[in-house]
């Protein structure tokens, strides 16, 4: 498959805001990533991918990130949960086993109700129907640890697919779809760049580019694409990282993160344009 792909990685509410700010700033510079033939969204990127693919105006989305986050629920990943993730990573014999163990952790952790979390996700999406264009949202089967890509042929409501992709284990509840439970697609990879394989022009917006243990870094996934694609990866600059703060799940950091993304776009525009305009 030739064509262009926009890959949107995970990174909490600050990642959503930063990606939207970047898209708005790149549009200011004459680079329109919303024209991608394929959009791949993981976790925070599933929200941005869904709103972009369903035709939301980027400037309206940007302004919404500057408003008080009244529909969001503040959260954080605790140190204890991070340690449990780390123990699962170093003691699992395979990536799938690691992800299944994290899925089991998610089931045992008390969080908000699935209904409360779904309402938050639904409030982020102006349109709740799958678009006709190619949109792939990633989740992980909480029992088997297998990747589950959702698209409009999957027979799954868009809100449920985004909810599953955003179901950070230990923070938000797993999402039940057709009798199976799913957790955040970022447990496999923060961006799942490999799902864009076959496209010859790929731009990756990665709020969290690093990997660890069974979770490959974005750079490693890009390297595995080889010479078959031209790829530009945009990661947060120091100003953006400062805007995120220490907790990417803090809704109060949304506005600063969006502004940082828009400002960073000026520096990223040339590299992104060189990929996006290539024939």
Please identify every residue annotated as catalytic. 43, 184
DSSP label at 266? Answer: H
In Å, what is the CA distance from 104 to each residue of 109, 176, 190, 203? Answer: 9, 14, 20, 33
Distance CA(16)–CA(254), nearest Å, equals 8
Distance CA(156)–CA(50), nearest Å, equals 14
The full DSSP string for 185-244 is: GGGT-SS-GGGGTT-SEEEEE-SS---BTTB--HHHHHHHTGGGSEEEEE---HHHHHHH
Token pair recorded at residue 251: 């809704």
Q: State the maximum Cα–Cα separation within the chain, in Å, rounded to a whole number.
A: 50
Token pair recorded at residue 149: 């890509």
Q: Could you identify the residue written with the tokens 């805001």?
A: 17
């Amino acid at each position: 498959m030739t064509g262009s792909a926009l890959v949107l990685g995970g990174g909490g509410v600050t990642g959503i805001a930063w990606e939207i700010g970047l898209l708005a700033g790149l549009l200011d510079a004459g680079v329109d990533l919303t024209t991608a033939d394929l959009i791949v969204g993981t976790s925070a990127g599933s929200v941005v991918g869904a709103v972009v693919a369903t035709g939301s105006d980027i400037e309206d989305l940007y302004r919404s990130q500057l408003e008080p986050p009244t529909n969001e629920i503040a959260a954080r990943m605790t140190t204890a949960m991070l340690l449990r993730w780390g123990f699962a990573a170093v003691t699992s014999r395979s990536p799938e086993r690691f992800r299944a163990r994290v899925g089991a952790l998610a089931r045992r952790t008390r969080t908000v109700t699935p209904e409360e979390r779904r309402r938050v996700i639904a409030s982020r999406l102006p349109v709740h129907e799958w678009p006709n264009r190619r949109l792939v949202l990633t989740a992980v089967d909480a029992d088997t640890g297998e990747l589950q890509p959702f698209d409009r042929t999957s027979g799954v409501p868009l809100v449920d697919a985004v909810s599953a992709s955003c179901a950070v284990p230990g923070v938000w509840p797993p999402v039940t779809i057709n009798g199976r439970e799913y957790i955040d697609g970022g447990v496999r990879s923060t961006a799942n760049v490999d799902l864009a394989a076959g496209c010859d022009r790929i731009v990756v917006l990665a709020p969290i580019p690093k990997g660890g243990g069974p979770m490959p870094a974005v750079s490693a996934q890009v390297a595995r694409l080889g010479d078959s694609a031209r790829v530009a990866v945009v990661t947060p600059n120091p100003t953006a990282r400062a805007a995120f703060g220490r907790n990417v799940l803090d809704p109060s950091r949304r506005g600063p993160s969006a502004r940082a993304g828009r400002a960073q776009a000026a520096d990223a525009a040339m590299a992104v344009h060189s990929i996006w305009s290539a024939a």
